Structure formats: C-alpha cells, structure tokens
Chains A and B, each alone.
Chain A
Amino acid sequence: MSWIEADSGAALTLSVNGMRHDLKLDARVTLLDALREHLQLTGTKKGCDHGQCGACTVLVNGRRINSCLSLAVMHQADEITTIEGLGTAENLHPLQAAFVAKDGFQCGYCTSGQICSAIGMLGEWREGWPSHLGDRADAAPAIDAAEIRERMSGNLCRCAAYPRIVEAIEHYATHEGADA
C-alpha cells in the first residue's frame, strides 16, 4: 500500500464485461470517464456528472451505481458490467429487446442507464429489498408498475419514455426475468 501521487498516472486494472484492462490513469478519473474516454466504451452516458440523472448507471458486482460519482481507481477488485456487456445490436439481451419492442426510449441517451438500472433493480427486488412504497418485495408475487416507477426514479428521461420504460421492464420481469 502506498500513495499514488497527485496528477501522476496510476497503473490499474479494471475488469469490464469479463475483460481485464490494464490502464494508466490519473487518480481523478471517474469510473464513467475511464469507461468512456479511456476504454471507449461509450454506451455508458454522461448526463449530469453529479448523480442527478442516472444516465451513467453501470453494474458493479451486480449492483447498480452511478459511475460518475466513483473513481476508477476504487474499482480494481470489482467486476463491472456496462450496457455493452449485456448484449449487442445484433444479439440483444431480452431487456434490450423489450425496450425496442415497447419503444422505451426516444433519443436513446438515457437508455443504457435505464437498462442497467433495471437489471440491478430487479435483482434488488428478487432479494426482497424494500422500497419507499413499503416492505412488499418478499410478499408480492411479481413486481408491479408502481414499484418499478419508484425504484427507477433515479433514471431521468427527458423524452419522457417513462410509461413505456415501465412497460418494457414489466414485460421483461414477467416473461424473461429468470434469464437475468
């Protein structure tokens, strides 16, 4: 254990979508900027850079976080999953396919974050985590629209595809949730 000096390149390894990447980064580089600017994994979006929009949502060890409010150097022991790790345009993940089928987006800029967030959110639901709506996840048979809305509220969509995002997630959770 030793100090990484200010404004020096720190050698670090990030594991993203199952691939290990050796990088030399300024300690100031956020996980988001490491993905976008250094690995050119630009599916993860920067909408506000302050945890106020959710466009940068990625999965770290399966949990959704805002990658803008975390330093890359803090994630060397973690497995990071981005939108690119879920599916490709030619071979979509079922939730991505549900977004296309239900038109759960318009401009597409918040979409990666919505999808990654939804994957993480459904995992939380399956583990019985409560929400602001109450302690229902253990008892309810399936997630409903109200729970999806509350749990997805950290992902803003200015095009306001909200109702259709909820439909896409609900469809996926009901029909394909077991795949996740």
Chain B
Amino acid sequence: MIAFDYIRPADETAALHAATERPGARFIAGGTNLLDLMKLGIERPRYLVDIGALDLREVTETSEGGLRIGALVTNAALAAHPLVRQRYPVLSQAILAGASGQLRNKATTGGNLLQRTRCYFFYDPASPCNKREPGAGCSAIGGFNRIMAILGTSAHCIASHPSDMAVAMRALDARVETRLPDGQTSSRTLEALYRLPGETPHVDHRLAPGELITAVVLPPPPAGRQSYRKVRDRASYAFALVSVAAVVSMREGRITEATLAFGGVGTMPWRNRKAEALLIGQAPSAALFERCADAVLAEATGHGGNDFKIPLLRRTLVASLAKLTGGEP
C-alpha cells in the first residue's frame, strides 16, 4: 500500500469538499476491494476520503413505490431487509450468492457496484494488463482465461465484471444516484454507469472525478416471479462462472414481461433487451427459451478457456426460464 492522506468527513458536503480539495482522491467505504487492490499495488490512491461516517445507511420506500437504498447500506443488511426479501427476492438472492458473511457485512451498495474485475492478470502487477496499465497488452487473450467474459469484450480486454448484486440490480432497472462536487445530483441506469472496455478498458465507469454514489433507487417491484441462479466452482465463496437473474411475469399462459441479466459472462453486468422481447406474448416452451438464448449469445465470443460459458449460459438460462414459467423443460 502506497502511503495516502486520509480523512473521515462527517457529512456528504464535507466529503465532496475533501475530494475536490485533493484531486485524485478516492472514496473508501467498506474497503473490501480497494484495500485488497492497494496492498498489491494495483490501486495507488494518494488520498483516501473515508465516507464511513456519512448518513447513507437507510433503506426507504420511494413515493413511486420503489426503494431508495443508501450507498452505505451493507450487502448483508440489504439482503436481509424485509422489503427487499419480499419485493425484490432476486436482489436478496444475488447478494447472498456472493462473497462471504464477513465480506457482506462490510461491503456496501455503492462499493459493490464499483468493484473491479477479478481477472487473474489484472490482479498481478507483473502481467501486462490494459485495464491496469493502458497499452500494456492483455494477458488474458491467448492465456488462461477460464473466468473471463464472453460478451462485451474487446481486442484490448476480456475481463468479466464480478458483481452478483449489480446483475440483479440491472435486471430490476435500478438507477444510481450521485452527487457531484458542485452539489448537483444526477441519476443514471447501470447501463449508463458502466463502460464497455473498448479501447480504454482502464475506465470501468462513467462517474466524474469526485462524484459520489449516494443511493441506488429501485423502481416499484416488477410483476411476476424472480430468481437468481449462480453457477460457480465451489458450492459457496466463489465468483460466478455464469449467473442468471430473471424476472418473468405470465398471464393466461403467456409471458407478459421478462427481464434477464447475466453475471460472470460480461465485461459489465449484462442485459439483452432483444432477447427479452422475444419472450413477450409467447407461451413458454423449450424452443422459445432456446431462441432467447440464441439472441443472448448471438455476439458471444469464447477465448478458448472460457468457451464452456457459452453452453453453460445457454443451459442455465433455459433452465431458469423453464422454472420461472412453471413448466418443466
């Protein structure tokens, strides 16, 4: 860990001020990913603004019937929150499928969204990595890439996004609220929060310097059934190889609404609206689910070691849809 100046402001205004005062400052909340990376010299912030004392730990109902989740609500508290369990079970399930009890007690909602990839090569300063060092090259392409992404990749980076929580939030159309150093607030979807790697894989997201995530807002709960299915190498305490968040609503034997998001396969929490649209108005069937999987995987690319994620995602998606629509595949 390279030495840093440290401050623990008491409120948002002071935190934003501190971040402006020392350009390049990074916010730290749970620290479960940032400190991990700092010890390895992968992250080297000169200034840390500890936002742990900020009043962002509430989960409240919005006037629209949704939920506003404070950025500092821990993953554990969010997963255990009665309203989340009742109305957004896919989110509770996704969080509980991730990390460990200890980590979930520390990791926060805002921090989880901004966690960085678990790519083996990103995690080792001795390996070339465009995400860590722009222009250095990508060691995962042509290397051991079992855990890497098959969707949203570029010639410069195939690192997968590791979050489970964010996958469920993407399926729920969550919006991320922020405050900028000038006090302005903004709200954006997860799609607008994240960036695809393209030619600049070192930039994970679109937050401005000093912009602070204050909350995640969930719209009113979707109709229908929800599920999060995670496939991993251990029974617990491992990152997703593939995960599927699905919310499906049926009426009179036909699918009326469907949202699907995927983890472990994309360079960001993945969603494919065309694939969702294929389901609408249709009666559930194995053939339909296969067509949906075709659409999700239309642009998927394997890199050798992760080729299996293509059939694995297909099978997991088809089985999830079959379960949610009540029919056996």
The chain A residues found within 8 Å of chain B, CB to CB, are 1-7, 10, 26-28, 30, 49-51, 54, 57, 63-66, 69-71, 73-74, 117, 120-121, 124, 127-132, 135, 149-156
Inter-chain contact A153/B80, CB cutoff 8 Å: no
Inter-chain contact A54/B7, CB cutoff 8 Å: no
The answer to the question of B52 belonging to the interface, with a C-beta cut-off of 8 Å to chain A, is yes
Inter-chain contact B105/A1, CB cutoff 8 Å: no
Partner of B35, one of A2, A71, A120: A71
Q: Could you list 20 further interchain pairs (A-B, Cβ under 8 angstroms) beyond the known A1-B14, A64-B102? A: A1-B10, A3-B5, A3-B18, A6-B46, A27-B48, A28-B3, A51-B32, A51-B36, A63-B105, A66-B106, A73-B8, A74-B8, A120-B101, A130-B96, A132-B93, A132-B96, A132-B97, A135-B92, A149-B236, A153-B100
Partner of B80, one of A49, A117, A128: A128
Tell me the bound Cα distance from A5 to B5 in angstroms.
5
Given contacts A71-B35, A127-B80, A131-B96, contact A51 B103 (CB under 8 A): yes
Inter-chain contact A70/B35, CB cutoff 8 Å: yes
- Give the chain B neighbours of A153 by CB distance below 8 A: 100, 234-237
- Give the chain A neighbours of B4 by CB distance below 8 A: 6, 27-28
The answer to the question of B99 belonging to the interface, with a C-beta cut-off of 8 Å to chain A, is yes
Tell me the bound Cα distance from A153 to B106 in angstroms.
16
The answer to the question of B284 belonging to the interface, with a C-beta cut-off of 8 Å to chain A, is no
- Give the chain B neighbours of A132 by CB distance below 8 A: 93, 96-97, 236
Tell me the bound Cα distance from A2 to B85 in angstroms.
40
Inter-chain contact B106/A65, CB cutoff 8 Å: yes
Measured CB to CB, the closest approach of chain B to A53, in angstroms, equals 10
Q: List 19 A-B contacts (CB under 8 A).
A: A1-B8, A1-B9, A5-B5, A27-B3, A27-B48, A69-B30, A69-B106, A71-B35, A74-B8, A129-B76, A129-B79, A129-B80, A131-B96, A135-B85, A135-B92, A153-B100, A153-B236, A153-B237, A154-B99
Given contacts A69-B32, A127-B80, A153-B237, contact A64 B6 (CB under 8 A): no
Measured CB to CB, the closest approach of chain A to B100, in angstroms, equals 2
- Give the chain B neighbours of A73 by CB distance below 8 A: 6, 8, 50
The answer to the question of B266 belonging to the interface, with a C-beta cut-off of 8 Å to chain A, is no
The answer to the question of B263 belonging to the interface, with a C-beta cut-off of 8 Å to chain A, is no
Inter-chain contact A130/B79, CB cutoff 8 Å: yes
Measured CB to CB, the closest approach of chain B to A95, in angstroms, equals 16
- Give the chain B neighbours of A131 by CB distance below 8 A: 96
Question: Secondary structure at chain B's binding surface: helix, strand, loop or mixed?
Answer: mixed
Inter-chain contact B101/A117, CB cutoff 8 Å: yes
Tell me the bound Cα distance from A127 to B85 in angstroms.
14
- Range of interface residues on B (Cβ < 8 Å): 35 or more
The answer to the question of B39 belonging to the interface, with a C-beta cut-off of 8 Å to chain A, is yes
Inter-chain contact A150/B236, CB cutoff 8 Å: yes
Given contacts A127-B80, A132-B96, contact A4 B5 (CB under 8 A): yes
Inter-chain contact B1/A3, CB cutoff 8 Å: no
Tell me the bound Cα distance from A41 to B105 in angstroms.
23
Inter-chain contact A6/B100, CB cutoff 8 Å: no
Given contacts A10-B6, A28-B1, A28-B4, contact A64 B235 (CB under 8 A): no
Interface residues in B80-111 by Cβ distance below 8 A to A read 80, 85, 89, 92-93, 96-97, 99-103, 105-106
Partner of B3, one of A6, A50, A135: A6
Inter-chain contact B237/A65, CB cutoff 8 Å: no
* CB closest residue in chain A, given B94: A132
The answer to the question of B152 belonging to the interface, with a C-beta cut-off of 8 Å to chain A, is no
1/0 per position for B1-43, CB-CB distance to A under 8 A?
Answer: 1011111111000100010001000000011100110010000
Interface residues in B112-128 by Cβ distance below 8 A to A read none
Inter-chain contact A49/B39, CB cutoff 8 Å: yes
Measured CB to CB, the closest approach of chain B to A145, in angstroms, equals 13
Inter-chain contact A121/B8, CB cutoff 8 Å: no
Tell me the bound Cα distance from A57 to B106 in angstroms.
12
Tell me the bound Cα distance from A127 to B82 in angstroms.
12
Given contacts A1-B8, A132-B236, contact A70 B102 (CB under 8 A): no
Tell me the bound Cα distance from A96 to B321 in angstroms.
46
Measured CB to CB, the closest approach of chain A to B83, in angstroms, equals 13
* CB closest residue in chain B, given A64: B102
Central interface residue in B5, B102, B236, by most chain A CB within 10 Å: B102
- Give the chain B neighbours of A27 by CB distance below 8 A: 3-6, 48
Inter-chain contact B39/A6, CB cutoff 8 Å: no
* CB closest residue in chain B, given A57: B102
Measured CB to CB, the closest approach of chain B to A58, in angstroms, equals 9
- Give the chain A neighbours of B5 by CB distance below 8 A: 3-6, 27
Query: What are the 8 closest A-B residue pairs judged by CB atoms, nearest first?
Result: A154-B100, A153-B236, A6-B3, A7-B3, A27-B6, A129-B80, A153-B237, A132-B96
